Structures are given as structure tokens and as C-alpha cells.
Amino acid sequence: NGQYQPTHEVNEGQWYRFRMVFAAVERGARLEIDGTNGAQCEMQLMAKDGVYLHEMPRKIESAAFFSGARADIAIRCTCGSGSGKCAAMIRSNGKHARAVVATETATMTEAYSGDLVELMITRTGRIDADLPRVQVKRPCYLADLRSATVDSSNEHDLNVQPGMLWDGQAQEGFNFQHNPRTPPMADLPVGQVHEW
């Protein structure tokens, strides 16, 4: 929560849920975990942007973030042989993180590279069971439409007007404002699937 490179104490073999948000404006990040002194950590993705995966958790090696992205990730670390604490670092590998602004004059936005959170792992000799794999039941307003047939008349394009910048200002310096007299782009009847 706003701390710069904090250190968190965790117990070996215990699952911890990290609810993360990448509160950047024009950067991307790819989170990875590197262990020291024999530490090994695994990550299990549970949710993206507050919505649980259809089947969760999903084992991942890294987690990609763009501006404003959120993720719920379960992390479990173990220490190798030996005594005392071991450590792991959650970091962003900049060369693997890319975010592109999709305009004709776009340039590659800078990807964050550096350490984020250090995990100090206390040896316990105990390992929690693997997380159970579950299928999430979704409410009706989060129906799975990936295999739905979409009528060609319900396929729409959503385009930003030329000359608009990401910060909501026109190139001429005028603020973008909605014109209530502008007709709607489409009528969306209830009970039909529309694709944008």
C-alpha cells in the first residue's frame, strides 16, 4: 500500500494471497519471483481485475500488468536445506514487460524494471497442501459468452476519433466532452449478444 520496496515476513510452505494493483499511468510490468539461499516460490493466479478465473487457481511463472491492472495471486515459498531464513524478491523484469499506445505516433511506453517486495521466509518444515482446483459459478450478469453466436448485425466497431490523445484532450488543446445531441452508436435490444 504505497510502500517502497517493503519486506514481508512469511512462513515457509504457507499460502499467502496477494491482491495487487498496478497504479501506473503509462508503464507496464511483468512480475516474477527470484529466490536466494535456496528459496523457491510458486504463484497461482486466482483473479484478474476482481473477477475470478472460470477455473482457478492457474499456475503461472509471471504476471503481466498494464496501467490500472489488478490481480489476485496466491504465493507459497519454501527454503532449501540449511538453517535460518531464506528470502525471495518479487520484481518486475522490464525487458519482458511491454505496453504500447495504439496510435499512429505511438512509441513503446517504458516498462518498469526493479525490485518491488522482499519476502523473508521463516523455515517451518511444514508445507500446506496444494490449492484445490475449483470451477467458479458465476452470476447471470457474468455469463460465459465465448462460444456464443453473434449475428453480423450485432458486430460493432468502437473507434476513438482521430486527434484524440489518451489523456482525454484533443491535439488542439480542447477538452473532450460528450455532446448529448450526438446520436447513439447502436441500439442494444435486451436478450441479444453484441460484440464490440
pLDDT digits (tens, 9 = 90+) for 14-58: 999 999 998 877 778 889 999 888 899 999 999 999 889 989 999
pLDDT digits (tens, 9 = 90+) for 64-123: 888 889 999 999 999 987 777 899 999 987 655 444 333 334 444 567 788 999 999 999
> With left for phi above 0 and alpha for psi between -120 and 50, is residue 5 left, alpha or beta?
left
What's the whole-model pTM score? 0.71
Which of 105, 127, 126, 189 minimizes the C-alpha distance to 154? 189
Strands (E), the chain: 7-11, 15-21, 29-36, 40-48, 51-52, 55-56, 58-60, 63-65, 70-78, 86-92, 99-100, 108-109, 114-122, 134-135
